[in-house]
């Protein structure tokens, strides 16, 4: 009786062919630019045949033996190709900068799905590098294995570095900037007649010149970590009581309860502008400070808007953008120098290798 073999599942043929093709591409790239001294050190066979009869009876001299020995040794030397160091220098650096750019700047705010797609494509590239390293390990190719191990390790580090600094840049600098820029800018706002409900789409406010945050009606609350959250209403200098106090200047640790002072607005007497606070981290505590001030001084507040008092809110927003761009430029340059140093060290370890 003939027993048919148990069917086994195999990967599709196009996947196997694709992997083999990628492996052949890597071999071609890493060997491109490599030179061998076999052809230059190989003896001239035509000349040897012409003088063979003359030298058959001649004894072998010591110089001839040394020459043959030298030829055998130098024929096994090679110079590493320059494509592998080039790839190892620029590919990890590109992974770092692409992650930083896609997660830290406008792409994430306008197209968040596309920005995360770029990040995941970097992971795919690292996976391909791991496959190449596995192929080199199976072939026992010491030179390829050294470069691919270095490429895989530095690519993983670069991917993580770009991810971390991209997220930090976006949360600290760029997201507040984009959110403020997406809102309206209002000029000549008079707190005597303006109501918070009318300016819910506002991000930057230029008040009348007589407007100021009144420190005499400020209040504060303190949390468990001993941080003081302060709030003071914006009103005019004519001391007219407002129907509703809807514009509040806030700050942290700038109104000591014992001193009964409010320094969150700075010391500039010419400042009469403000930027809306949109960060939800401490808004509940600032709202508690607003409610404390309203209860303490008998103020009416319907739709309070929380602000930071500034002399020029537009230039301050641009300053945050400049800081983010400067940090990215400096960080990308610094990581390139780090990667260049690693490639130089790895190249110095591979250069003396001998073998075909």
CB 212 within 8 A of CB 232: no
Phi, psi of 8 (to 5 degrees): -115, 150
- CA neighbor of 253 nearest in space, from 279, 231, 227: 227
Taking CA atoms, 145 is separated from 21, 82, 135, 156, in Å, by: 18, 16, 9, 16
Of 156 and 352, the structure prediction assigns the larger pLDDT to 156
Write down the pTM of the prediction.
0.69
Q: Give mean pLDDT, residues 325-341.
A: 96
- CA neighbor of 304 nearest in space, from 330, 322, 284: 284
Band of pLDDT at residue 70, cut at 50, 70 and 90: very low
pLDDT digits (tens, 9 = 90+) for 175-202: 989 999 899 999 999 998 999 999 999 9
Which SS3 state, helix, strand or coil, does residue 34 take? coil
- CA neighbor of 188 nearest in space, from 289, 272, 312, 71: 272
Q: Work out the number of other CB atoms within 10 angstroms of the CB of residue 323.
A: 14
- Cα-to-chain-centroid distance, residue 28: 32
pLDDT at residue 40, as a whole number: 42
CB 78 within 8 A of CB 30: no
pLDDT at 50 over 60: no
- CA neighbor of 115 nearest in space, from 100, 129, 128: 100
DSSP code per residue over 255-320: S-TTTT---TT-S-SS--EEEE----SSHHHHHHHHHHHHHHHT---SS-EEEEEES-HHHHHHHH
pLDDT at 217 over 50: yes
Q: Give mean pLDDT, residues 212-216.
A: 88
Close Cβ partners of 310 (under 8 Å, ≥ 6 residues apart) = 266, 271, 273, 274, 275, 316
Mean pLDDT for all residues in the chain: 79
Of 22-36, 110-124, 280-294, the poorest mean pLDDT is in 22-36
pLDDT at residue 263, as a whole number: 85
pLDDT digits (tens, 9 = 90+) for 267-295: 677 788 999 998 888 888 999 999 999 99
Of 1-5, 38-42, 205-209, 251-255, the poorest mean pLDDT is in 38-42
Alpha carbon distance 142, 205 (integer Å): 65
Q: Give mean pLDDT, residues 38-49.
A: 45
Phi, psi of 266 (to 5 degrees): 80, -170
Torsion of CA 294, 295, 299, 303, to 10 degrees: 50
pLDDT at residue 348, as a whole number: 81
109: its two tokens: 């705010």
Band of pLDDT at residue 18, cut at 50, 70 and 90: low
- End-to-end Cα separation, the chain, in angstroms: 52
Express as a percent the part of the chain with pLDDT over 90.
Answer: 45
Of 26-35, 105-114, 154-163, 293-302, the poorest mean pLDDT is in 26-35
Of 162 and 228, the structure prediction assigns the larger pLDDT to 162
Alpha carbon distance 189, 210 (integer Å): 11
pLDDT at 65 over 70: no
Q: Give mean pLDDT, residues 123-133.
A: 92
Taking CA atoms, 131 is separated from 91, 154, 216, 284, in Å, by: 16, 16, 69, 51
pLDDT at 2 over 50: no
Alpha carbon distance 243, 295 (integer Å): 15
Express as a percent the part of the chain with pLDDT over 70.
Answer: 73
Band of pLDDT at residue 354, cut at 50, 70 and 90: very low
Q: Give mean pLDDT, residues 237-261.
A: 82
Helices (H), ranges, the chain: 13-31, 38-41, 45-50, 52-55, 62-74, 83-104, 106-110, 112-138, 142-169, 175-181, 283-297, 313-350
pLDDT at residue 31, as a whole number: 52
Q: Is the dihedral of CA 134, 138, 139, 143 positive or negative?
A: positive
Q: Give mean pLDDT, residues 210-214.
A: 90
pLDDT at residue 349, as a whole number: 72
pLDDT at 32 over 80: no
pLDDT at residue 19, as a whole number: 57
Band of pLDDT at residue 77, cut at 50, 70 and 90: very low
């Amino acid at each position: 009786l003939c027993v048919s073999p148990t069917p086994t599942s195999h990967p599709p043929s196009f996947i196997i062919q694709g992997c083999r093709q990628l492996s052949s591409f890597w071999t071609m790239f890493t060997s491109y630019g490599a030179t061998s001294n076999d052809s230059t050190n190989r003896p001239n066979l035509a000349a040897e045949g012409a003088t063979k009869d003359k030298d058959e009876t001649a004894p072998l001299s010591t110089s001839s033996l040394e020459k043959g020995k030298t030829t055998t040794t130098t024929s096994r030397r090679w110079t590493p190709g320059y494509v592998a160091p080039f790839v190892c220098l620029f590919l990890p650096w590109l992974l770092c900068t692409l992650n930083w750019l896609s997660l830290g700047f406008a792409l994430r705010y306008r197209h968040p799905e596309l920005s995360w797609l770029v990040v995941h494509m970097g992971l795919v590239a690292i996976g391909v590098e791991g496959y190449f390293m596995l192929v080199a390990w199976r072939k026992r190719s010491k030179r390829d294995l050294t470069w691919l191990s270095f490429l895989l390790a530095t690519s993983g580090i670069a991917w993580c570095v770009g991810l971390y600094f991209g997220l930090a840049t976006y949360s600290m600098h760029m997201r507040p900037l984009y959110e403020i820029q997406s809102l309206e800018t209002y000029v000549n706002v008079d707190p005597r007649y303006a109501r918070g409900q009318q300016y819910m789409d506002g991000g930057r406010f230029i008040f009348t010149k007589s407007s100021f945050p009144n420190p005499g009606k400020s209040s504060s609350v303190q949390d468990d970590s001993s941080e003081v959250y302060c709030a003071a209403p914006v009103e005019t200098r004519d001391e007219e009581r407002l129907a509703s106090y809807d514009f509040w200047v806030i700050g942290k640790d700038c109104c000591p309860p014992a001193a009964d002072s409010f320094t969150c607005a700075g010391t500039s007497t010419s400042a009469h502008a403000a930027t809306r606070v949109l960060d939800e981290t401490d808004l509940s505590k600032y709202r508690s400070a607003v409610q404390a001030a309203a209860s303490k001084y008998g103020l009416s507040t319907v739709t309070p808007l929380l602000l930071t008092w500034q002399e020029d809110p537009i230039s301050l927003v641009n300053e945050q953008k400049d800081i983010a761009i400067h940090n990215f430029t400096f960080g990308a340059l610094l990581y390139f120098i780090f990667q260049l140093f690693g490639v130089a060290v790895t190249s110095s370890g591979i250069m003396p290798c001998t073998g075909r």
